[in-house]
Chains A and B, each alone.
Chain A
Amino acid sequence: GESVGLHLPTLSVQEGDNSIINCAYSNSASDYFIWYKQESGKGPQFIIDIRSNMDKRQGQRVTVLLNKTVKHLSLQIAATQPGDSAVYFCAENWDTGNQFYFGTGTSLTVIP
């Protein structure tokens, strides 16, 4: 199947700065994307999603950008806090199939 990849496996940011986590996907037919946050020892937690008919979606302190031309997805976290330290995964779905394909994850560390 298609794979979902992340550009950077680790990211360290200063508290209060903005964070940008990137994701590349290879299946041009993907039409639904989700970002998950996974804290140590816990299951993934939904952050935000976006469909392919949109190029930007905003949530509370988070924004997801979708660039279908280059098959790229990014997650922006504003004013990063220590509680944002976690592994972040993107996942893609296509043809409304009953499964998502997950990327390998980016580990975000927030430096106080």
Chain B
Amino acid sequence: NAGVTQTPKFQVLKTGQSMTLQCAQDMNHEYMSWYRQDPGMGLRLIHYSVGAGITDQGEVPNGYNVSRSTTEDFPLRLLSAAPSQTSVYFCASSYAGITDTQYFGPGTRLTVL
């Protein structure tokens, strides 16, 4: 199993550009989530999904969209990037829900100029 994979590993955007961060898992996990990690702060939940076709907002959802059309994939979209979205983004998955062990991807480091 590859586990949780994220692409790209690094990305630089200009303010106003859009992009999609990709996340995929091959463990047949129902629960998937996106976090952002900023210096001096803990991970903060952006969006999560408890299964295909179901998504919900986390602690800091503004400026981000998600969809879950398959069990395996959970892309995160930035519609109009802002410098405040400069961060490291982590995708995670777990078998059934939040209280199951979460497996994190390697992260995407995003810089918005």
A residues touching B (Cβ–Cβ < 8 Å)? 1, 4, 32, 41-46, 89, 91, 93, 96-105
Q: Which residue of A lies closest to B49 (CB)?
A: A98
Q: Which residues of B sit under 8 angstroms from A100, Cβ to Cβ?
A: 45, 98
- Chain A binding site: helix, strand, loop or mixed by DSSP? loop
Interface residue tally for chain B (C-beta within 8 Å)? 26
Q: Which residue of A lies closest to B92 (CB)?
A: A43
Contact A1 B59 (CB under 8 A): yes
A46 to B4, CA, bound (A): 14
Contact A43 B105 (CB under 8 A): yes
Question: Taking A97-B98, A99-B58 as contacts, is the C-beta distance between A104 and B40 under 8 angstroms?
Answer: yes
B50 to chain A, nearest CB (A): 7
Q: Which residues of A sit under 8 angstroms from B75, Cβ to Cβ?
A: none
**Which single member of A44, A46, A97, A99 contacts B90 (CB below 8 Å)?**
A44
Contact A102 B44 (CB under 8 A): yes
Q: Which residues of A sit under 8 angstroms from B44, Cβ to Cβ?
A: 102
B99 within 8 A of A: yes
Q: Which residue of B lies closest to A4 (CB)?
A: B42
Q: Which residues of A sit under 8 angstroms from B59, Cβ to Cβ?
A: 1, 99, 101
Contact A104 B48 (CB under 8 A): no
